[in-house]
């Protein structure tokens, strides 16, 4: 039934090949346009919320009608078709409502998109206008900046008027006959006059500025004087000492130092007085100070308490000691040693400044029970030094002052009575304690006015001012020389470790222009290693290889020849020159025992060392370069074996007057630097 009814309701579509009449087409178009625009207008009038509620209601009704139709079809019956048709019609109505709502939703969406597009176009148009305006603003700013940055002399310089120019300027600058008719020349003349005026004003400005500085300095001095006047006047009310300070008399610090010096032991007091006097008279850079605890020094001179109190409490002390465990013999000896080696609480510090701003810090101590003085040293430089490996012991506190005077190693006590004191407490030698106590050099005792005669020992040694004063200046000069020589050695060792022999410009003339042999090795060696070398027996037997010396090994090479040099550096360098022992490995081993020329080479560097001193005695290690020169002469003057074919291994490049002399065929090792040739001595 439903299918038949639907077939009856299908509209008939009449297709014609010809186009419809114009009146009908126009009428249908206007009707459709009227319907479209009516729905579009209806969208503006309808509420979207209500349409949404209508949509939900319609969907619910459709679900209900479909469910009823399904129920009716399942039940069957005669009157079911009518009811189904009725509900179908209702469903169609609801479908029409849904279609209308769909159209309205699409219209709303289209309108929203159109509005968004229009707004976006407006924003894009405004943004484009903004970019154009910004570009124009930037262009205008650039143009304005160019205009502002344009500089011209006429704009920068405020020239005087023409009337003043021709009135005040001299004729050689104004040149009225030329400048009156030529504006360019007139401008140049005005600029010249402006320059002349500014020069005069600049000169006046400098004069006024100098006067201002002088006046300001005077004002500052007067201000300082006035600012210090009031507290000084207040201090005068309290004590009389600031009066001396105000009148440029000895300062309070010096007064305090002298007050502290009253508690010094006699040797340190003599050293303090004499060093202060020497600093004021001869060396303004020498600073003297006292360090330590004054209270402890005062406590040393307090009288002992009344013995009656001890006797009254003796019984109680005996009962306590019986309960305690008595110390062992070793502990008692340690306590006695500490008491024997006890230092005075106060010490004297001397800061000796050298020319290169290096400072030698000396701290003097006094051992009260041993009645000797000790010293500890420390060297500080203006710039931090890069310590080479071989220069490790040069500036060490243990060796920097060793042998300041010949034979004064500072390892033994200068007081003969100390040995008997050491035997009582089990001290073998003072050498084991010098690192903590300091070195008891002989010159330290003399600076403190102490003298220990060995022939006629005295029971009590009294500090003598005259003894200290007689040795003060010489010792201070030796200390400065020692520091400078050690610093010079420090720099030379840094070069020698890199195979470079340092030669100053004032010593270059002492050597030939071309030296082929090269220093390839410079290392420090131990005293035991030096003693075991077979070519150093002469030095060892002569007693010149002491354990206080410094030992080094140098290696000079040229081709297949290798020259070893064992160097003994005395702590008294540079007053005591270094000693070289040589061993040449070339066509066998050659030393001073089997080759006279090796002995002559050693004589050149050990005996004739003064030829290389030049203006700086601390550069005696230039013998390292002389070894290179001597090796060149030795190898180049060696006779060539005619049986061996080929070129000579070491061609002669040094100019020699005679290659050999005498039955021992000695070679010419002396270099005559003005003429540039080698000769025999």
Q: Where are the domains of the chain?
A: 38-149, 166-249, 261-300+330-484, 499-639+648-679
Q: Which two tokens stand for residue 67?
A: 């469910």
For the ranges 130-139, 323-332, 342-351, 527-536, the lowest mean pLDDT is seen at: 323-332
**Between residues 400 and 256, which one has the greater pLDDT?**
400
The mean pLDDT of 246-267, rounded to a whole number, is 75
| pLDDT for res 273 | 92
Instruction: Tally helices (H) and strands (E) across the chain.
Output: 24, 11
Q: Which two tokens stand for residue 117?
A: 């597009």
Most confident of 41-50, 396-405, 437-446, 480-489: 437-446
| pLDDT for res 151 | 74
pLDDT, tens digit, 9 for 90 and up, residues 198-248 = 899 999 999 999 999 999 999 999 988 888 887 876 666 566 666 665 665
User: Within 392-526, where are the H helices?
Assistant: 418-425, 434-437, 442-447, 465-496
DSSP label at residue 438: -
> How many whole angstroms separate alpha carbon 474 and alpha carbon 336?
38
The mean pLDDT of 554-570, rounded to a whole number, is 90
- Residue found by looking up tokens 């340092």 in the block: 502
The mean pLDDT of 68-89, rounded to a whole number, is 84
Confidence of residue 24 (pLDDT cuts 50, 70, 90): very low
| pLDDT for res 387 | 67
- Annotate 7-45 with three-state secondary structure: HHHCCCCCCCCCCCCHHHHHHHHHHHHHHHHHHHHHHHH
Phi, psi of 559 (to 5 degrees): 65, -130
The mean pLDDT of 46-55, rounded to a whole number, is 90
| pLDDT for res 651 | 81
Q: What's the gap between Cα 133 and its chain centre?
A: 56
| pLDDT for res 501 | 75
pLDDT, tens digit, 9 for 90 and up, residues 2-14 = 444 443 344 443 3
| pLDDT for res 253 | 65
Identify which of 343, 252, 331 has the alpha carbon closest to the alpha carbon of residue 293.
343
**Between residues 39 and 615, which one has the greater pLDDT?**
39
The mean pLDDT of 341-355, rounded to a whole number, is 91
Q: Which two tokens stand for residue 446?
A: 């003399």
| pLDDT for res 584 | 92
pLDDT, tens digit, 9 for 90 and up, residues 423-453 = 888 888 888 888 888 999 999 999 999 988 8
Question: For helices 252-261 and 266-281, what crossing angle results, to 10°?
Answer: 150
Average pLDDT, the chain: 81
DSSP label at residue 430: G
Most confident of 136-140, 418-422, 516-520: 136-140
**Between residues 237 and 487, which one has the greater pLDDT?**
487
pLDDT, tens digit, 9 for 90 and up, residues 632-674 = 888 888 876 655 555 777 888 888 878 888 787 888 888 887 7
| pLDDT for res 242 | 62
For the ranges 128-142, 184-198, 327-341, the lowest mean pLDDT is seen at: 327-341
The β-bridge partners of 585 are: 562, 589
| pLDDT for res 138 | 95
On the CB side of 142, CA atoms within 13 Å amount to 5
Does residue 49 carry a pLDDT above 60? yes
> How many whole angstroms separate alpha carbon 15 and alpha carbon 484?
128
Number of residues that this document lists for the chain: 681
For the ranges 5-9, 286-290, 607-611, 620-624, the lowest mean pLDDT is seen at: 5-9
| pLDDT for res 203 | 93
Rg value, the chain, Cα? 57
The β-bridge partners of 348 are: 290, 364
Contacts within 8 Å (CB) and 24+ apart, 543-548: 544/568, 544/579, 548/399, 548/402, 548/403, 548/409, 548/411
| pLDDT for res 350 | 93
Confidence of residue 153 (pLDDT cuts 50, 70, 90): low
| pLDDT for res 162 | 84
**Between residues 571 and 328, which one has the greater pLDDT?**
571
| pLDDT for res 22 | 43
Identify which of 379, 435, 378 has the alpha carbon closest to the alpha carbon of residue 410.
435
Identify which of 588, 385, 587, 397 has the alpha carbon closest to the alpha carbon of residue 488.
385
> How many whole angstroms separate alpha carbon 262 and alpha carbon 292?
13
pLDDT, tens digit, 9 for 90 and up, residues 365-412 = 999 989 999 999 998 887 777 667 666 677 888 888 888 888 888 888
Q: Which two tokens stand for residue 493?
A: 């060792």
pLDDT, tens digit, 9 for 90 and up, residues 295-342 = 898 888 765 454 444 444 555 555 555 445 555 666 788 888 888 899
Tell me how far CA of residue 402 lies from CA of 180, 350, 358, 382, 406, in angstroms.
Answer: 90, 18, 19, 23, 9
């Amino acid at each position: 039934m439903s299918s038949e009814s639907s077939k009856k309701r299908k509209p008939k579509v009449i297709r014609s090949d010809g186009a419809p009449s114009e009146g009908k087409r126009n009428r249908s178009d206007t009707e459709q346009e009227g319907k479209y625009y009516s729905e579009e207008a209806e969208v503006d009038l309808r509420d979207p919320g209500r349409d949404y509620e209508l949509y939900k209601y319609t969907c619910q009704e459709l679900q209900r009608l479909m469910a009823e139709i399904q129920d009716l079809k399942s039940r069957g019956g005669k009157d079911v078709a009518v009811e189904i048709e009725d509900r179908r019609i209702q469903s169609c109505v609801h479908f029409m409502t849904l279609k209308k709502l769909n159209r309205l939703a699409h219209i709303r969406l289209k309108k929203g998109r159109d509005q968004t597009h229009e707004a976006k176009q407006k924003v894009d148009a405004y943004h484009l206008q903004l970019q154009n305006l910004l570009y124009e603003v930037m262009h205008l700013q650039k143009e304005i900046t160019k205009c502002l940055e344009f500089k011209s002399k006429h704009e920068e310089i405020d020239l005087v008027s023409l009337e003043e120019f021709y009135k005040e300027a001299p004729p050689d600058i104004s040149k009225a006959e030329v400048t009156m008719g030529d504006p360019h020349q007139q401008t140049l003349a005005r600029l010249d006059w402006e320059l002349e005026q500014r020069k005069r004003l600049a000169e006046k400005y400098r004069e006024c500025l100098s006067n201002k500085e002088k006046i300001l300095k005077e004002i500052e001095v007067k201000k300082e004087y006035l600012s210090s006047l009031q507290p000084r006047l207040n201090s005068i009310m309290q004590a009389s000492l600031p009066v001396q300070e105000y009148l440029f008399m000895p300062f309070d610090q010096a007064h305090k130092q002298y007050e502290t010096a009253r508690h010094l032991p006699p040797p340190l007091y003599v050293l303090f007085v004499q060093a202060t006097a020497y600093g004021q008279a001869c060396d303004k850079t020498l600073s003297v100070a006292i360090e330590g605890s004054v209270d402890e020094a005062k406590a040393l001179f307090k009288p002992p308490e009344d013995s009656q109190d001890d006797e009254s409490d003796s019984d109680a002390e005996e009962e306590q000691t019986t309960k305690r465990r008595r110390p062992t013999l070793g502990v008692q000896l340690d306590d006695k040693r500490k008491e024997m080696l006890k230092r005075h609480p106060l010490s004297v510090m001397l800061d000796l400044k050298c020319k290169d701003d290096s400072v030698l810090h000396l701290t003097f101590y006094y051992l009260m029970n041993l009645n000797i003085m000790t010293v500890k040293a420390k060297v500080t430089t203006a710039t931090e030094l890069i310590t080479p490996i071989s220069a490790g012991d040069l500036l060490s506190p243990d060796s920097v002052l060793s042998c300041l005077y010949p034979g004064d190693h500072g390892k033994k006590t200068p007081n003969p009575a100390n040995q008997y004191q050491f035997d009582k407490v089990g001290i073998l030698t003072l050498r084991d304690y010098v690192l903590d106590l300091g070195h008891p050099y002989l010159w330290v005792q003399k600076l403190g006015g102490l003298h220990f005669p060995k022939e006629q020992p005295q029971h009590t040694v009294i500090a003598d001012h005259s003894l200290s004063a007689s040795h003060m200046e010489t010792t201070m000069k030796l200390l400065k020389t020692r520091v400078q020589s050690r610093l010079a050695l420090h720099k030379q060792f840094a070069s020698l470790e890199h195979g470079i022999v340092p030669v100053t410009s004032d010593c270059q003339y002492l050597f030939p222009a071309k030296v082929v042999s090269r220093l390839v090795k410079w290392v420090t060696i131990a005293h035991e290693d030096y003693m075991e070398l077979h070519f150093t027996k002469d030095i060892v037997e002569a007693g010149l290889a002491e354990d206080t010396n410094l030992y080094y090994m140098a290696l000079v090479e040229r081709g297949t020849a290798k020259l070893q040099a064992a160097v003994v550096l005395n702590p008294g360098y540079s007053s005591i020159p270094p000693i070289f022992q040589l061993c040449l490995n070339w066509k066998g081993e050659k030393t001073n025992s089997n080759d006279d020329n090796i002995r002559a080479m050693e004589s050149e560097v050990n005996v004739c060392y003064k030829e290389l001193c030049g203006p700086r005695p601390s550069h005696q290690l230039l013998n390292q370069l002389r070894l290179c020169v001597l090796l060149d002469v030795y190898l180049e003057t060696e006779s060539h074996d005619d049986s061996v074919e080929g070129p000579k291994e070491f061609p002669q490049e040094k100019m020699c007057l005679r290659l050999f002399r005498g039955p021992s065929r000695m070679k010419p090792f002396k270099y005559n630097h003005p003429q540039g040739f080698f000769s025999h001595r």
